[in-house]
Amino acid sequence: MKFFVDTANIDEIREADSWGIVDGVTTNPTLVAREGREFEPTIKEICDLMGDRPVSAEVISLDAEGMLTEARNLATWADNIVVKIPMIKEGMKAVKVLAQQGIKTNVTLVFTAGQALIAAKAGATYCSPFLGRIEDMATEAITVVKQMVDIYCAYGFDTQVIVSSVRRPEHVVQSACWGAHVATVPFKVLDQLFNHPLTDRGIEGFLADWENLQKELGK
């Protein structure tokens, strides 16, 4: 399973990448706005940091022609750009054209397996179901991921599922259990995935026992 970091914060990306487990980055307009910097230099810097690993950057237009203009421009910024397109009819028109032109896409704001099926038929490279936001509606969410993986496998779609709107480590584990190709994980949740109190307690115990042995041996 691939891990993408869901952030536009350069320090977070650098830190997470130093852990050796980052396969790409996703951003959205909210995440970019949170950094208070211009869009283009922010995305270019992230693309540079990631090398050949994919970086999703989202279009703002809501009509296919506008999305195509933005997407083609984004694609000139770096070879590893993935253009994020919302799950609307105009968006799927744009995805179809971009797929034919070899520009990678990530269909975003997906909440049902039906939407995911449409995204795959349009030729999306990635499709992003929003787990946390589904749960915010007091609705069970992980079934959508299972349905998406089942449908893509059954019909041999190349589209990869990026589980998005991840709020806690359990979302990543559940997504892995259902065979999602990617989880895009906020920095805080990625950090939490490492932690367990018994790991900390185990290290303390091992080090204390080692120190005691050194003392017994007169070292």
Distance, in Å, from the CA atom of 166 to the CA atom of 133, rounded to the nearest integer, reads 9
Q: Is 219 a catalytic residue?
A: no
Residue 125 within binding range of ligand E4P, rule CB under 6 A: no
∠ Cα 17 136 2 (to 5°): 25
Distance, in Å, from the CA atom of 205 to the CA atom of 198, rounded to the nearest integer, reads 10
Residue 160 within binding range of ligand E4P, rule CB under 6 A: no
Residue 29 within binding range of ligand E4P, rule CB under 6 A: no
Paired sense of beta strands 24-26 and 2-6, if any: parallel
Distance, in Å, from the CA atom of 219 to the CA atom of 128, rounded to the nearest integer, reads 57
Among 125, 160, 175, 184, binds ligand E4P (CB under 6 A): 184
Residue 9 within binding range of ligand E4P, rule CB under 6 A: no
Contact assessment for residue 67 and residue 86, using Cβ atoms and an 8 Å cutoff: no
Provide the minimum distance between the beta carbon of 101 and ligand E4P in the complex, in angstroms, as a whole number.
22
Residue 126 within binding range of ligand E4P, rule CB under 6 A: no
String marking each residue 127-156 x if it binds ligand E4P according to CB under 6 A: -x-x-xx-----------------------
Residue 175 within binding range of ligand E4P, rule CB under 6 A: no
| Binding residues with ligand E4P: total (CB under 6 A) | 11
Contact assessment for residue 76 and residue 106, using Cβ atoms and an 8 Å cutoff: no
Instruction: List the catalytic residues.
Output: 84
